[in-house]
Structure formats: structure tokens, C-alpha cells
Amino acid sequence: MGNLVAIVGRPNVGKSTLFNRLTKSRKAIVSDEAGTTRDRQYGKCEWNGREFSVVDTGGWVVKSDDIFEEEIRKQVVIATEEADLVLFLVDINTGLTDWDEDVALILRKAKLPVLLVVNKADNFDQYYGAAEFYKLGLGDPIPISAATGSGTGDLLDTVLANLKESGGSDIEEGIPRFAVVGRPNAGKSSLINAFIGEDRHIVTDIAGTTRDSIYTRYDKFGFDFYLVDTAGIRRKNKVTEDLEFYSVMRSIRAIENSDVCILMIDATRGIEAQDMNIFQLIQRNNKSLVVVVNKWDLVENKDQVVVKTFENAIRDRMAPFTDFPIIFASAITKQRIFKVLETAKQVYLNRTAKVGTSKLNEVMLPIIEAFPPPSVKGKYIKIKYCMQVPNTQIPTFVFYANLPQYVKEPYRRFLENKIRENWQMTGCPINVFIRQK
């Protein structure tokens, strides 16, 4: 079960710098993917063989002074509800501010570990300055410099010491886990209730603590899966504002703990920025995807042209990953609810697709011959052989080339699309690597 760490603090105390430092090992790997530049607020951090997710709350603030402090305060509250640990960042140069004291008040009431991190302590003389932050009543201040990295190792040791080892649960392996995600009011609860229906007795809840996901086993009509429900999805949200940050924090856990994400989009509102945020979380975590356009019963004109236009609009926004099913449904009238389950099940099975090496080469090599990678600096790139890597989380293909460093992203996508055209992998992410032969 993944742990979630939130970074909070005033603007300009160095939240993003700390975030980038904590997630750096991963950032380097993901930076060449399309579409990752925008979502700098969420990443994974690995330290001493353990991994946790980090959220930088700074990326979600509306910049305007009057509502600005109020906004950050709200985010701190949400962070304490959703995260497992909070890093409260203060700046040694500006010293204690009233605002820091306000936030410390919220954090002292929270029922989760809070680490007080004093940033910009670039030399040892400044360490003495950290003492004034004892006033906040949040324990020992931890002096670091996010910019140079000094002190961050000790900080990470302390973080791990405060995060519970994620224990195993009673969840059976080999049974798909579906998460229903989407922004508030897209109809997630209605869909979950439509799946489970009133037959509560067929449902077994495996409840973790409040912060964990709850898995609901569903087993009927030949479908057997767990619904991943971030705890408290069923209580009416205390946060009435449609806060982007809230729905993202809410979705992170459900997405990380699932195999297939069912992304709900409201037919009456179309695709909005928030849907894209959640979609990017799904992509970053390499999860399979089914898009459900909900509230289809409310759309007046339902002819094929409208359907097609809607589908194309969705795929355009989510490009370059466009190979996923889209289902027009209504949770309230239960229209196509089973189609959603059937599709989710199929998409889950697509992850386990195996392509024989000889078949793969037989199909792909002639395509590569006909459309070779563009030459770079007069050098011709030759791809002579390809294979699927066994036992990976998602289908992973390696193409062996003489100059792998010259094969660019568009060509990798071309190869991916050709694999998708020839083998059934709809809704499922694929890795394509080019290696030295």
C-alpha cells in the first residue's frame, strides 16, 4: 500500500525545490515522456529500498492575495486528511511568521506525523537560527537546504521512520482491482452503487484504516473483482468547493492501488482540466484505462455523429495515448453498466497479452523496413530484432538498434501504434524501449 507525503508551507519557502529533489531519481526517467511537464506536483520518491508518493501542494494555489492565504489553509486541511505524513516547510531567512503559526495550529490538531523542515540553512552558522521554530510546538526542526541537498538524507531517514511499513492485507492476488475515479459530481458514487446494487450481502468489505483504500469484493454474473474505494468516498464531502487539489489528492491512492481505472466524465460538462489531471495520474502510474461518459441519459441528441464527435474530442485531449475504450453510460438508469464491467475486465486481461518473438519479428520487421527511423546526422539507424520482455507489469517490448540514442519519441510511438494495430492491447499502457543490439 503506497504511502503519501504532502509538502505544505508558504509560497517561496522552496516547496518545489524540495519536491524536485525528493523525486529526482524518478524525474530523470519520466522527463522524456510526453505530457509530464505539466504535472510537476506529484511524483514518487525512493529511499533505502522503500517508495512513497510526494505531493507538492504549492502547484495548486490560486495566485491572488485575498483568497490566497485562505486557499493554502484549505489545502493544509485537505493534506492532513488525505496524506500519511506532512512536511511543513519554513524558511530560515524570513524566520517565524504569523502565517506559519496559523498553519502550525492546524497541524498540531492533525492525527498524523508532521515534520518541521527548516529550509535554506545553507551553512552551519544558520543551524542555530532553526531553534526559534521550536515555538511552533511541532517537535525538533530539521534544518536542510533543498537547493544543495544538504540535510535531505537525514530528513528522508526521519520520513521513513514515521511512515508505517505498508502491511499486506487480505486481498487475494490475481483478482483485478478496479478504481472508479473522476472529479467530484461526475457520478462515481452512483456508478459504485449501481455495480454493487442493494445486494449488500454479496459484498465483503476489507477495511483498512481511514486513510487506506477500502476494497469491496464483487462477485456475480461472472465478474469477480475488487472495487478500490478510497475511504470516505461514500461520506458526503466536507469540502463543498469543487477543489481541484481535493479531487487529485483523493484519486492518487485509488489509482496507485488499482489495476484498471474507470475514469468518469460528465456528459453534460465535457472534458475539463481536472479530468486531464486525473488522466495524467493514471498514465504516470501505468494503469489500464476505461473512460465512461456518464449521465448519457441527459443528453438530448444521441445520434452517431454526436457520439463520434464526443469520442474524438476525448481522444484528442488525451493524445498521444488514444487506444482506450470509451463507453457512454448512465449510472442512474443503469444503461450499459455491465458493458463497463465487461470492458474493464477485457482491458485487465490485455495487460497479460503475450506476443511470441518470431511472430513479433515477422510482423514488425517488414513495417520497420518500409518506414525506418529517420537518419540523424547522416547516420542510418537499423533495427534488426525485437522481443517482448517476459513477466513485466505492463506489456514491454524491446527493439534492438545500432544507434538507440538517435531513435526519438515520435518513432517510438509509431512502433507502439503498430503493435497496437496487430495485437489486442486496448486500454493498456505499453512500454517500448530501444536498446543497443
Q: What is the mean pLDDT of residues 295-318?
A: 86
In this prediction the pTM is 0.80
Residues 28-70 pLDDT 10s:
333 333 333 344 678 888 888 888 889 888 766 655 555 667 7
Residue-wise pLDDT for 199-258, tens only, equals 443 444 444 444 556 777 888 778 888 888 765 444 444 544 546 677 778 788 889 889
Cα–Cα distance measured from residue 330 to residue 296, given in angstroms and rounded to the nearest whole number: 5
Provide the Cα torsion 217, 220, 222, 225; round to 10°.
Answer: -10
Q: In this predicted model, what pLDDT tens digit does every residue of 182-200 receive, in sequence order?
A: 887 787 777 877 877 654 4
Name the least confident of 55-59, 141-145, 329-333: 55-59
Using alpha carbons, select from 194, 180, 267, 292 the residue that is nearest to residue 230.
180
Record the cell numbers describing residue 267, joined without a space. Answer: 456528459
pLDDT computed for residue 366 by the predictor: 95
429 preceded by cis ω (within 30°)?
no
Question: Over 70: is that where the pLDDT of 73 sits?
Answer: yes
Rounded to the nearest 5 degrees, what angle is found at the Cα of 235, between the Cα atoms of 230 and 239? 90
Q: What are phi and psi of 223, to 5 degrees?
A: -105, 135
